[in-house]
Amino acid sequence: MKKDYPLIKKQDRAIYETIVEETARQTEGLELIPSENYTSPAVMEAMGSVLTNKYSEGYAGKRYYNGNEFIDEIERTAIERAKKLFKVEHVNVQPYSGSPANLAVYLACCQPGDVVLGLNLPDGGHLTHGWKVSATGIFYRTLPYHVRKDGKIDIDEVRKLAKQHKPKLIWAGATAYEFKYDYSEFAKIADEVGAYLAVDIAHIAGLIIAGAHPDPVPHAHIVTTTTHKTLRGPRGGMIMVTKRGLKKDPDLASKVDKGVFPGLQGGPHDHQTAAIAIALKEAATPEFKRYGKQIVANAKALAKSLKKHGMTLVGGGTENHLLRIDVSPIYGPGGGIFGSDALEVAGMTANKNTVPNDPGTPFYPSGIRIGTPALTTRGMKEKEMEKVGEWIARAIKAVGTYHLPSDNKERAAYIAKFHADSRKNKELLKIREEIRKFTKKFPLPHEKKR
């Protein structure tokens, strides 16, 4: 690390030191957040290239600025690689990230006030699928559907709501959902009411490419994704229009493009586009397919270990890359903050998250969301997941005496004391040292010999 970033070190010591500290955090800890991953050195190199200097408002061959002949070539390359990889008719690679991509779908398919269905956020849905504080819930009439007691989507409720309210757009996809999707059922419902079906695969794009998760493309009109997470690219987004989408609406591709620009964005981030193109090339390899399958195998092994060590899992396990631990049996309602912070002290990064029928609130949820994409990128397999599950359980139990006060006025002081106490907890510090030694065997991609 000391020989990296020499110009930053010379010009801005404060930022350099912070990068060094963040690198150490990533290197010496276990990244369990399922929406985070490690890019290849080539992807990072593109993100720091001269492409960041260019302004390219518009689309390839139709720019508002001159000097874009090479940028056009990069964007066309990214588009063609995505079309081939996902087997779709049209791709827009300009969205800055997943949320702008999803909002562009609303602009393409709906008018303000139109009815939209999406998975309820506390049940695992995403903000941009219509949650009330999101722009998507403010400007559109959004109705949530839910999961059943077993954690699976209540498809009967989706059909009932669709028939009753005749939505213009139906979202399938989630930010915290452990099961495979039955896209054909969503497609039938959309057809029954004349709605567009948009599938958000931000979390599972890499699994779909690897053949480790069902493919929505034959069933959806539009597919959106981020390019990080399981796709292992830079932070960015894509919108894909399928053959089925163009059959429903021959102008859908142009509507999507207009939704992105000029609807929401100005010039694209050209360095990001190049990095997306590189990631798509990497994703087309046999090695990546093995990687995607290993993510799922690791998640199932981690679930087995967690249950062995006394943890309660939403849905009893997982069918993809993601798990949610219900910590209410340990901390009571709203105790996700204790579990996620304890993991951080112990050298593991996760996030507090709602669970179905959560007795807490979205701000004080009763679960912890974890996943295996980043661990798998580092080369860990089922054997290592057994140990990771043990560490997670030990860390959660190490602060098991804490319970969130029911009186809101008491919470701030109680949580502050917990923070102070947990950072001196001998068991958590012991786990942290064990993990620090363990991670030396699993370097990050940029640390490996090139």
Hey, which residues are catalytic here? 55, 57, 200, 226, 229, 235
Structure tokens at 232: 């292992």
Ramachandran quadrant class, 315 (left: phi over 0; alpha: psi -120 to 50; beta: rest): left
Other CB atoms within a 10 A radius of the CB of residue 340 amount to 26
Other CB atoms within a 10 A radius of the CB of residue 7 amount to 8
- C-alpha angle 292-294-299 in degrees, rounded to nearest 5: 105
CB 342 within 8 A of CB 426: no
Other CB atoms within a 10 A radius of the CB of residue 132 amount to 11
Give pairs for 159-167: CB < 8 Å, separation 24+: 159/189, 159/192, 161/117, 162/117, 162/189, 162/190, 162/192, 162/193, 162/195, 163/192, 163/193, 165/115, 165/117, 166/115, 166/193, 166/194, 166/195, 167/114, 167/115, 167/116, 167/117, 167/143, 167/193, 167/195
Helix, strand, or coil (residue 224): strand
Other CB atoms within a 10 A radius of the CB of residue 439 amount to 18
Tell me the CA distances in angstroms from 170 to 130, 331, 442, one per residue in order: 10, 36, 41
Cβ within 8 Å of residue 230, ≥6 positions away: 37, 203, 204, 205, 206, 207, 292, 295, 321, 373
Report the alpha-carbon distance of residue 445 to residue 418 in Å, rounded.
35
CB 143 within 8 A of CB 165: yes
Structure tokens at 68: 């874009």
Three-state DSSP string of 310-322: CCCEHHHCCCCCE
Name the residue type at position 94: Q
Determine the length of the chain. 450
Cβ within 8 Å of residue 73, ≥6 positions away: none
Cross-strand partners of 172: 199
